[in-house]
A and B are shown apart, each in its own frame.
Chain A
Amino acid sequence: MSPAADGAPVILIEDLWRTYSMAAGLEVHALQGVSLAIRRNEYVAIVGPSGSGKSTLMNLIGCLDTPTRGRYVLNGRVVSELDDDELAQIRNLEIGFIFQTFNLLPRATALHNVELPLIYSRMPRDERRDRAREALAAVDLLDRLQHRPNELSGGQRQRVAIARALVTRPSLLLADEPTGNLDSAVSAEILQLFERLHQAGNTILLITHDRDIARNAQRVVALRDGRIESDVVKQDLPAVARP
């Protein structure tokens, strides 16, 4: 799927600005010249307190928003110049979203929830089914295919959401506070799953305000006031899930 060879960045951000125009001509600079490169199969955490710009950065990386200024190249494509439909296509093919609140369709089965992104990429139904099963197998939920979200535990729901993110075999898993609604035992379980997905070759970007959670990643990028404060790669420390 990826034209970029190993080692070439999946994400290349150069001097990214995002400015919100408020009422009365006020301007808020949520991002002020962020530059960042993330290579294939990196496991990166972006941390920062609220208001640091991490949500804005996540929206931009997730192609839900476009920057005011700067360049964003995702997997070789210059995203900052695309229109809405092209962005939708990129989101569909390149990005797997994982949200704090899971965002599953309440009336749909686990299988159908996981199939959803493939519906929008117009994959034939049978193939879709197979791929969704495969993704649910990767998160150990093959025995819950026909369950609806309200019949699943919080951890299981998040695993369905992770399967949905995996199903398109995206270049990037983008997780926004994925353990924010889970207790610590289940959080650890999810973080272990992330570790496993990372081992399997996925590129993961974890956005969190919690430095303890961020510690699970290979590399921690700290944001403050719309700028990168620090960028630490923990080569020597093995990533361990917290108890």
Chain B
Amino acid sequence: MSPLEGLRIALGSLVANPLRSFLTLLGIIIGIAAIIAVVSVINGLNVYVADRISNLGPGVFVVDRFGVISNREAMIRALRRNKKLVMADAELLRERALLADAVATEVHARDDLTVRGETVRRVDIGGISANVLEIEPYDVDGGRIFTESEVERAVPVAFIGADIADSLYPRIDPLGRELRVGNRTFTITGVAKKRGSVFGFSRDNFVKIPITLHRRIYGARNSINISVKVADPARMQDAMDEARLILRGRHHLKYDEDDDFGILSSEGLNELWENLTKIIFRVAVFVVGVSLVVGGIVVMNIMLVSVIERRREIGLRKAVGARSRDIRLQFLIESVVLTCAGGAIGISAAWLLAWAIRSWSPLPADFPLWAPVVAFLICGTIGVFFGLNPAAKAARLDPIEALRSEG
């Protein structure tokens, strides 16, 4: 018997019992849909992270008060221990860090904006040093970021994000116009190019002002972030160690004490992200693996039932000339067709799910093209593995007994 013939028989019996087939395959459908959905989300996030989050660029690291904290205890400890970073920390790095090319500072606060009576509440007001541009490239859509001397003299100038420009200056060029931040008036010197959103949060909803003025308005209580550009990206690690030593010295930490600040780099963030996705992926593979094995066992059971139900058919096929191996092949193909049909439904479900996630949630989901191929391979393997026993049982049936049986 040709495999094609077996395929036709298998499809026939699959379609003959659509509800039973569907219920049989539910485990496999859910398993496949789940794993592909998870892979799609991770895949989408990977692109996202590479594209939007770890955009520090190579050879840049950031010193901040907390660094990356992954659990609550560490957060509580860090809140107690970690000192706020102040301008003097940045000054010291600028002075002492020989491997650093540029040291920029940034600090954040929230305040209301007012333009001609219209107010936007609680906007991110960033105080930056002029050289932030060298480190975190803000593409300028129009105008400019302020100069070193404007920062030094604390001139009230502002560089605004695209969302602010769109909502407060809908049909006019905001350059040179006035903007009230809190109760002070600033002159707009530049507008940033649109940067899009991450996880549903707009990244264009900001106003940047000179950090000197920021400290004066919002006080020196807010911890600052220090961005460091390394002169030689190949010596990134050395530069980070150097900065760490300088700050530890300034904070009077003993040799056995932990850092009371955090250092982030693009590599570090990527590594963190990779570890995180690896864990998610492993958990998903485990859960889905269990569901697929259960699904496979269900398929095996239904195949065993099918062998018993169709004993007469098997007997007849043998009587008219089917060899044992023809029967075995037929039932193996049937089992593989069954599991692959489950896989196909699961893949479709995952594709819909990925589409829904992309459309209705801030999470990105990118359906990887290799996923269906792998899914079919997995389903085929499950089909063969769990079909072997029923197929062998069918092939072993004695035609005389089989023909004599009820049904």
Contacts and interface: CB of A to CB of B under 8 A. Distances in A.
B399 A64 contact: yes
A97 B16 contact: no
Contact of A116 (B320, B323, B400, B403): B320
Interface residues of B, number: 23
A120 B322 contact: yes
B320 A117 contact: yes
B229 interface: no
A103 B403 contact: yes
Contact of A99 (B1, B16, B317, B403): B403
Contacts of A108: 12
A65 interface: yes
Nearest to A85: B323
B321 A89 contact: yes
Interface in A82-127: 84-85, 88-89, 91-93, 97, 99, 101, 103, 105, 107-108, 116-117, 119-122
B2 A122 contact: yes
Contacts of B399: 64
Contacts of A97: 319-320
A164 B16 contact: no
A105 B313 CA distance: 7
B376 to A, nearest CB: 26
B1 A107 contact: no
B65 interface: no
B322 A88 contact: yes
Nearest to B2: A122
A103 B312 contact: yes
Given A64-B399, A99-B403, A103-B316, A91 B12 contact: no
A88 B321 contact: yes
B5 interface: yes
A85 B321 CA distance: 9
A91 B320 contact: yes
Interface centre among A93, A101, A103 (most CB of B within 10 A): A103
B13 A107 contact: yes
A65 B322 CA distance: 15
B83 to A, nearest CB: 79
B2 A116 contact: no
A62 B321 CA distance: 11
- Majority SS at the chain B contact face: helix
A84 B320 contact: no
A117 B324 CA distance: 15
Interface in A171-218: none
A19 B318 CA distance: 23
Interface in B163-184: none
Contacts of B2: 122
A158 to B, nearest CB: 14
Nearest to B319: A97
Given A99-B403, A120-B326, A164 B13 contact: no
Contacts of B12: 107-108
A22 to B, nearest CB: 15
A117 B399 CA distance: 15
Contacts of A105: 313, 316
Contacts of A88: 318, 321-324, 326
A62 B317 contact: no
A32 interface: no
A93 B317 CA distance: 13
Contacts of B313: 105
A59 interface: yes
Given A103-B312, A119-B1, A62 B324 contact: no
Contacts of B312: 101, 103
Nearest to A167: B320
A241 B1 CA distance: 39
A169 to B, nearest CB: 13
15 contacts: A65-B400, A85-B324, A85-B325, A88-B321, A88-B322, A89-B321, A92-B321, A101-B312, A103-B316, A103-B319, A103-B403, A107-B16, A117-B320, A119-B1, A120-B317
Given A62-B319, A93-B321, 13 more contacts: A64-B318, A64-B400, A85-B323, A89-B321, A89-B323, A91-B320, A91-B321, A92-B321, A103-B319, A107-B12, A116-B317, A119-B5, A120-B317
Interface of B: 1-2, 5, 12-13, 16, 312-313, 315-326, 399-400, 403
Which 8 residue pairs across A and B have the least CB separation, nearest first?
A: A92-B321, A120-B321, A117-B320, A88-B323, A103-B316, A85-B323, A97-B319, A64-B399
